[in-house]
Amino acid sequence: MFKRVFLVFLSALMILSFAVNVPVIAENGAQDVPEELKTDGYSFVAENDNFKLYANMDTGDFCIYDIISGNYRFSGQPSVLDQDSEAFELNTGRIKTELVSMLAVNYVQLSTVTSTAVPLYLNSYAYCVMDGNVTVKIIKNGYRAEYYFSDIATKIPVEIVLGKTGFSATIVGKDIKTGKKFRVVSISLLPGFMAADKSYSGYVFVPSGSGALIPLNATKGDVATYSETVYGNDTALKVEEYKSEANDIKVPVYGIKFNDTAITAIITKGDATANINADSDSFSTSFTRVYSQYVTSIIDSTTLFESNFENQRIIYGAEDRKKLTDYSVKYVFLHGSKADYSGMAEVYRNYLGLKGKAEKPKLMISVYGAAEKKDSFLGIPYEKRIALTSFDEAEKITDYYNKKDIPVTMQYIGWNNNGIYNKKAASKYSPVGVLGGQNGLSDFLEHSKKNGNSVYLDNDFLLIKKSGRGFSVYSDVCKSIFNTRTPIYRFMLSVYVPVNNEDPSYLLTPENVRKLTDVFSNGFKADAGLSMSGFGEKLYSDFSSDISRSDTLETFKKILSDYSSKQKIAIDGANAYTFKYASAIFTAPTTSDGNILFSESVPFIQMVLHGSVSYSAEYGNDLLDCIEYGANPYYYGIYDDAGMLIETSYNWLYGSTFDNWKKEAASVFKEYNKVYKNLYNKKIVSHNRENGVSKTVFDDGTVIYVNRSDKTVNAGGKTVKPQGYAVSGGK
């Protein structure tokens, strides 16, 4: 049905490499175009003190002259089409034309999507440029190129605009026109721009968890790829097996370093509907690259006749999003000593404009309050509420540390409503009676404040199990693409399968989350911070109401803004849209997801946050992790003996009794505080590792070396013992 395009070779432009050094343009007028570019159809578009932008008015390709480095950077990798180049032989299949495309499109055919959901593929070079279906026009400081894919009757406009630090590329959502027989499910933006072959040294940065590096020319094979959704998978999609949220993408940033230059890409619009993809040189390509993808329609599946094994049938559906928003990426060029992942973190930190000041170091603890346990009365089964950590016992925990001059930041989970897990919507300020009730909580909070502790009372506004308090588990929750409720089960971590003998939870629609938070806010009486459970780790659609993740993101930001203007808030999980509002972040990721492509994890998130927002390590991180990442030590658990957990749904808390970790936590924090008592509000300006030794540098000149090797090393004039650290410089 679809044509197969044979390669046609472009003129001399297509022989130019990704970043060739050419003579600086003569200062004889902005309209002058270097002969090499003029010959190949490029016209002058815009300029500023740092860059000149040229565009091919026939293909929509661009070329940027970076005045600082003296390099030209093209929108793709034209060497792959030069039959005399090595790249021509080393790049095969569709990636050859993808590397010279501005866009690549995945789509489904609506008449067959229920049974055949694997997307089909087109790219703008093979299916638009080669057909002459490109229209280009000049706009302010840039140009607009419209690509028409005749095979699927789809038009996609892209705007390239020059800026002081680089440029921005925008897919103009409202102007996308699609055919009636097909649905575009994703659009890859500039899939060949941030790519480098073996002539360069460096790496690709991807934001997996805390951050990770993919070395250039690692040659991991065609099966080694990276593709993850920004802010994690859509929570409204049914999950069949456990996937940890800890190492999801938290920040919409990616980058590439080649030699002494680098490029940082920030998804500034459409981040809630984005994937970040990367692959390494392999059997089919000589390039290592990274790019992002605008997800315009989510594909989901459901099983018909699920209880009838012999007649089960899986069908698929594609989201029918009525309105498409703009998708925009800002590309920032870096040079010299700034051209690395530390420089990329600085770019993103400046972009966010974080203004808060981190608190002095505190031991960060999550405690669990009320739980439900099966019991019976006269042979009639019922669930009784038990106290895992009462308000008095929470006070005992803080007192234990305060007497050792250790302040505490406590996240109190299960203090309200039904305890740890909601049944009905958490709309009421109703401290659990078995924990000590309102008077017990008030006494605890007053005592904590007097002793310099911070308490964040956790409330889950997203999940409910049963109807009540003005919210229905049938009409007020999110629906799937198939207009059915999506059950949210807990998972047995021992075997990673759902706990099916419990009632599932359901996600309230974003509109109802907003209503619930308004109701709760009006009745919140505690002199404490609020921990917004789920806001930093769950993002979802409501497919039945055409509410996309972008819509939900805007709702969440409004809620966070309103709450943070009244009181301090804490967040779990560290999705980037919470950074501006959070005073404390519990369990910020300290590792990546361990993809085979990665050479190492890096503390990108910590470099963005440190000095502005207090954050903890993940549970189980040792002292060296905390020292290297500037992360407050973190512990969680219950005060009572773990025997309380028998015949409950809380077996994952076994071993978390306070007595098991109280001494270790005190010792770790004391050591941590020696280093960070004067560094807590300082920015991390650079970080690197070499031969098992990391170097973390702060903006006051302090340098921390952490030695994870088994040998004593000399670093910066300091002797650092195996599995030890040393500090130098600073004020």
Residues 720 and 666 in one domain: no
The domain boundary, picked from 659, 680, 701, lies at 680
Phi, psi of 690 (to 5 degrees): -155, 125
Instruction: Look at residue 291 and tell me if it is in a domain.
Output: no
The domain boundary, picked from 655, 680, 705, lies at 680
In terms of phi and psi (left: phi > 0; alpha: psi -120 to 50; beta: otherwise), the region of 483 is: left
CB 607 within 8 A of CB 590: no
CB 99 within 8 A of CB 192: yes
* pLDDT value, residue 546: 94
* pLDDT value, residue 573: 87
Q: Sort strands 684-690 and 693-698 into parallel, antiparallel or unpaired.
A: antiparallel
Instruction: Look at residue 537 and tell me if it is in a domain.
Output: yes
The domain boundary, picked from 657, 680, 703, lies at 680
CB 596 within 8 A of CB 214: no
Instruction: Look at residue 198 and tell me if it is in a domain.
Output: no
Alpha helices (H) along 244-387: 341-352
Residues 440 and 525 in one domain: yes
* pLDDT value, residue 494: 52
Instruction: Look at residue 320 and tell me if it is in a domain.
Output: no
* pLDDT value, residue 217: 86
Residues 612 and 723 in one domain: no
* pLDDT value, residue 23: 34
Residue 393 CA to its chain's centroid (Å): 36
pLDDT lower than 70: segments of the chain = 1-31, 240-246, 376, 491-501, 731
Q: Give the global pTM.
A: 0.94
Residues 538 and 661 in one domain: yes
- Those residues whose C-beta lies under 8 Å from the C-beta of residue 518, and which sit 6 or more positions away, are none
Instruction: Look at residue 244 and tell me if it is in a domain.
Output: no
Entry field: residues in the chain: 731
Residues 576 and 696 in one domain: no
Residues 521 and 608 in one domain: yes
Instruction: Look at residue 399 and tell me if it is in a domain.
Output: yes
Compute the C-alpha angle 433/435/439, nearest 5°. Answer: 70
- Residue 148's beta-bridge partner residues? 155
CB 642 within 8 A of CB 368: no
Using DSSP's 3-state secondary structure scheme, residue 332 falls into strand
Phi, psi of 578 (to 5 degrees): -90, -15
Residues 695 and 619 in one domain: no
- Separation of alpha carbons 568 and 90, rounded Å: 55
Residues 421 and 553 in one domain: yes
- Separation of alpha carbons 6 and 28, rounded Å: 41
Instruction: Look at residue 220 and tell me if it is in a domain.
Output: no
Residues 424 and 571 in one domain: yes
CA atoms within 13 A on the CB side of 652: 13
Calculate the average pLDDT of the chain. Answer: 91
Task: Name the domain count of the chain.
Answer: 2
Residues 556 and 637 in one domain: yes
Full domain range(s) for residue 575: 363-459+510-680
In terms of phi and psi (left: phi > 0; alpha: psi -120 to 50; beta: otherwise), the region of 419 is: left
* pLDDT value, residue 31: 60
- Separation of alpha carbons 67 and 335, rounded Å: 11
Instruction: Look at residue 525 and tell me if it is in a domain.
Output: yes
Residues 645 and 718 in one domain: no
* pLDDT value, residue 142: 98
Residues 591 and 714 in one domain: no
- Residue 719's beta-bridge partner residues? 714
Give the domain CATH number at 610.
3.20.20.80
User: Sign of dihedral through CA atoms 98, 101, 103, 108?
Assistant: negative
Residue 373: how many other CB atoms lie within 10 Å: 17
CB 250 within 8 A of CB 267: no
